[in-house]
Structure 1
């Protein structure tokens, strides 16, 4: 399906069978989506996505889709609840059949052959330029035209000379009396229509992120042209690994690479590996135990407390442990004797 030819045929058809503005907008969006899909015969797309791209509300969208179906512009196949409908675009081009209009053979054979050599003109009877031109079609008889009657002076010798003259010149082409068509037809190989303009980056985005809007599609093509398509694809893959399936996140990755002068996939992979190594080293450093650093005032306070405790213990008189032991034994012996 040729995109430009279909659009021209669609608008030409609208001149004779007009559509509403919402139906025209919806048809244009469906053609755009079909182009992104690689001109598949049938394709699916969510109704909410079509409404957003065409700028239509739910009720207006349904009415426009029904109008396109009734006027034979699209075919819609419902697939049940919670499933996107299946669409099929109907070609708007009309094939015109041209009939070959050939000159009747009777008119050709009625042309009387009159050799120029038999005509003699005197000075007064010589024809004017206009009259001479009027006799030209009859005088210049074509090889493939066979006159019905020949003059008496034509003999076999002249016929042989004419035949030999044509045979000796193979480059002489016979002229067909069939009128030429109104427009030139290419007799060679027909030029194939370039129906697929989707790049790998746009196709990857469509399969993994969703159908892009015309703005996002233009932005993808711009980044692909400025950097390279493999680099844009690599950025999309990194975004999917981070569970960030948005073009905004992909664009942020590309902008960071531009600031770091990264223009190849190998350079991006090397920068990513260096960043991961740095993160790994930082995590290991945090997991190692660290010695607690005490402030100076805390150390001085502890030293003063220890000094005061030592002074207090020195001022208190120490008891004689041996003397206390003897007194305890005497007391026990005394109470033991009274008990007996």
Structure 2
């Protein structure tokens, strides 16, 4: 089974025979699990696990599974008791049955061989590219999906088609870096697709095609945010203080006014009366 050719064939069939989002999500969940089993012809997985990975409710799960089988996207068999069902994912790209000794088992006991020349060429090219990426230590598509799954769970039927579109335009290491940025900013699952869409569309508008360019763009963005926050921060207001002499005077409590006795008040009143009389006499004597 070639993962990329299988996905391309899946979308080719969707153009002719559309599926609901729950059915697409379930098929992708089964593909992911089958990939981890190294493309075993059959594998078992619990229904609860598939519901969790596909993000669909149990009430919709059984209907989606039956429809996928009816349309030839999957094959499954139940087992006795509470044992997990057995699944098989048939190839969706071109196959012609043959009795050649070079044939291989590709279904549940059915012999078949891929006779599509275009598929064979594409398969060889993709395998060569994958081997080169592994030798160079480059990020692979499966590693990108694994990182997404680690942060937010397996991508659902809405997110996965958009991720595949990103893979057609950008290298996996750039998409992996975008997911890393979202993880560092603690983006939650419900906002992951929207956040990454904004990041990747911004890079595409700036004609960014390499990881080095993406890293530089992210560094410049962080620097602009830091500068913006610094320029808008309010300066600390200096605390105004009074001179020492003013503080001493202001800090000293005022002495309460003393209340005069009757005798003292009478003397003061008499003195004021004399002063007023003297002042009046001086005014009269003045020519």
- Normalised by the length of structure 1, the TM-score is 0.38
Q: Which has the larger Rg? A: 1
- Normalised by the length of structure 2, the TM-score is 0.43
Q: Indicate the structure with greater helix content.
A: 2
